[in-house]
Amino acid sequence: METEEARAPWPVPTEWPLYVPVERAAQIAGVSYEYMRAACDRRDGEAIPHIDMGKRKKLVRVSAIPAYMAAAEAR
């Protein structure tokens, strides 16, 4: 398993916002909208960090995408 020192921080371009809609987060991660939506809706404590905006809209934290995808790959 990687240690914190071995893992370099993911470079987030400064022109990217801190949070993006689920559709844009899916594009950034290279996965389907349905996969990213399911990642937001997980109830087992493993949901990707996001903010609920009303009843249906969710904004995903861009900087959390790489760590979440790496953890999903290890599952």
**pLDDT tens, 40-57?**
999 998 999 999 999 999
Residue 68 backbone class (left: φ over 0; alpha: ψ -120 to 50; beta: rest): alpha
Q: How high is the mean pLDDT of the chain? A: 87
Average pLDDT over residues 32-40: 97
The pLDDT of 15-22, averaged and rounded, is 92
Contacts of 10 (CB under 8 A, 6+ apart): 63, 66, 67
Helix, strand, or coil here: 60? strand
Q: How far apart are CA 64 and CA 38, in angstroms?
A: 15
Q: Are 65 and 20 in contact (CB under 8 A)?
A: no
